[in-house]
Structure 1
């Protein structure tokens, strides 16, 4: 009897592990089309860097060994989220772009180091300064790039507070871009912080006036959002659309979380980032979720920016299927 009970206990304890191991896995990267490797033309690039991190004026730019159009290439200006100053956090996406021959400029607009974080969070949290730094750093990189950068074919991509800055870019006389892609744009900086931090920052942040600056944007705009984003909320997405009355077109898409298998697909605020970078995983969770390269990256954020670079306005997303054949919850246009 004791042996039977022991065997039953072992079976019960092991069953969750077995179920976890047997759970369907999420889809791999697409084999063809946007977000895939189909359009890769090189497997190497050169990273350049200038500026001082402590002043928030560092800029990186990435030049593929083989440029998209031979002697020159379109440019992606890549604006990071609040305090996410390390390109490593988005390196999966940057390398995906470089592999297709695109030049990528990554301006750092937050100050680096502990003292810099304290300044940008508590002493001089002025988003107008952040955007000025980003524009100055981008202009510096464009000057260094010279003729290989196709300045008449640039796409601006911004995540979180970087998305807010992209929304205000034209109103701040940033370098002219032909298309804008906003990934979970966050209009309220304090919503991207833990409550105990945001309460301390009340009254310390000077926010960008996106309602006044947004109307300067006249090019097509694409917004990529996830339904489990608790920081850049659905109501904020509505405000983003309202702030763009003169955009040539606006398309808002929503991706959905899907718990059919393991690991789950989670469409949260950090879904478009691939690595925690310098930030401890626990802190990153408090700012909106884990950062890992997964099917939402390949099939949604990579694919969306790829389509913008190809000049598409109406986009389609192949979210694939779980290993058990169950389709992943599809992307919709608009809000749920």
Structure 2
């Protein structure tokens, strides 16, 4: 007898690859001046066949600087023996507050303090924090391969790292590959048009980060993970910007909404996150494009992409995804890939 409400696929067994279940979390800097960073440090670092350790710089989305929003992914990475740096590059929201009003005040500070808004300033905050953590964790004494992962605004910053960091960081902190989840193509993409125009007229924006400029410096493999349920940054918003990425090894991936079972799988803007309980669900839908929860889109899509690149050295434009089956045996909708137009 068919299931009335098929359940989504269960979580994979990661224990075989969790070779460093013991780890430390070191905090450096100050949330008030956007220098705060969490460094996830494995007690048993993973080393590849050449003896090299792995570092992942993980860049959060706009006003999503609390690591709790992505925490199980961060722990998934450090337990595999990877070092993970998570800079909170905007002011005032580095961890979940005790009450909702305090948290909302933190979000407002992150947006409007300092004024005018400076995406280049946010990027520089992240870069400086990463440099500090790199020195404090003594990774400068190790042989390190660095990978960049970013979500939303953090995805734009990850794609812009080679252009904006350039000679400002040691060669070890330049990425071998870049994976992003639902990135924005420029730093004003998430701002509604009337507010954006008003901001431009009043001088609210000090500067701008745009893949049309920073994409020219991208010469490493790039994988962009998107979803057809993203209403904040629709797939079509990437049609022209994708062409601006200079890398010969780039690919656009697109997960599909799948309402076959209960709960359904929604490939929305917040699909990389696992927890948005710091705000009510209605507000989450309006501000971050969905309600985050850890599910199959994390395990077999977002997480699996980065796992392939870091552990298996798969090139970012050659990723594959097996999305599993609903409890009634129906396959979960597959991931499309190619260019934004092909998704």
The structure with the largest alpha-carbon Rg is 1
Q: Give per-residue Cα distances to partners, 1:234-274, cap 9 Å, x unaligned.
A: 133223422211x2410211110100010000000001101
| TM-fit CA distance, 1:183 | 0.7
Out of 323, 334, 337, the position equivalent to 1:333 is 337
| TM-fit CA distance, 1:103 | 0.6
Structure-1 residue corresponding to 2:27: 49
- Alpha carbons of structure 1 residues 69 and 325: separation in structure 2 relative to 1, 3 Å: same
Equivalent residues of 2:186, 2:210 under 8 A apart? no
Runs of 5+ consecutive residues of structure 2 not aligned to the other structure: 94-103, 167-172
Equivalent residues of 1:74, 1:150 under 8 A apart? no
Equivalent residues of 2:186, 2:209 under 8 A apart? no
Indicate whether 1:312 and 2:318 are aligned: no
- Alpha carbons of structure 1 residues 170 and 190: separation in structure 2 relative to 1, 3 Å: closer
- Alpha carbons of structure 1 residues 233 and 146: separation in structure 2 relative to 1, 3 Å: same
Matches within 5 A, 1:1-336: 22-31=4-13, 36-69=14-47, 73-112=53-92, 117-122=107-112, 123-147=115-139, 152-173=144-165, 175-192=173-190, 201=199, 203=201, 204-205=204-205, 206-245=207-246, 247-276=247-276, 278-286=278-286, 287-309=288-310, 310-313=312-315, 314-334=318-338, 335-336=342-343
Q: How many residues align?
A: 312
- Alpha carbons of structure 1 residues 325 and 284: separation in structure 2 relative to 1, 3 Å: same
Matched residue SS, 2:32: coil
- Alpha carbons of structure 1 residues 253 and 209: separation in structure 2 relative to 1, 3 Å: closer
Q: Give per-residue Cα distances to partners, 1:58-94, cap 9 Å, x unaligned.
A: 0110011211029872000000000001011101100
- Alpha carbons of structure 1 residues 241 and 153: separation in structure 2 relative to 1, 3 Å: same
Structure-2 residue corresponding to 1:10: none
Equivalent residues of 2:22, 2:43 under 8 A apart? yes
Counterparts of 1:179 and 1:150, CA distance in 2 = 19
Q: Give per-residue Cα distances to partners, 1:107-156, cap 9 Å, x unaligned.
A: 11111156664354343321111111111111111111113775641100
Which is further off, 105-114 or 301-310? 105-114
Structure-1 residue corresponding to 2:169: none
Equivalent residues of 1:152, 1:178 under 8 A apart? no
Which is further off, 256-265 or 108-117? 108-117
Which is further off, 249-258 or 110-119? 110-119
Equivalent residues of 2:151, 2:180 under 8 A apart? yes
Q: Normalization by structure 2: what TM-score?
A: 0.83
Equivalent residues of 1:184, 1:232 under 8 A apart? yes
The root-mean-square deviation of aligned C-alpha atoms, in Å, is: 2.5
Q: Normalization by structure 1: what TM-score?
A: 0.85
Counterparts of 2:182 and 2:143, CA distance in 1 = 26
Counterparts of 1:83 and 1:199, CA distance in 2 = 21
Counterparts of 2:38 and 2:161, CA distance in 1 = 19
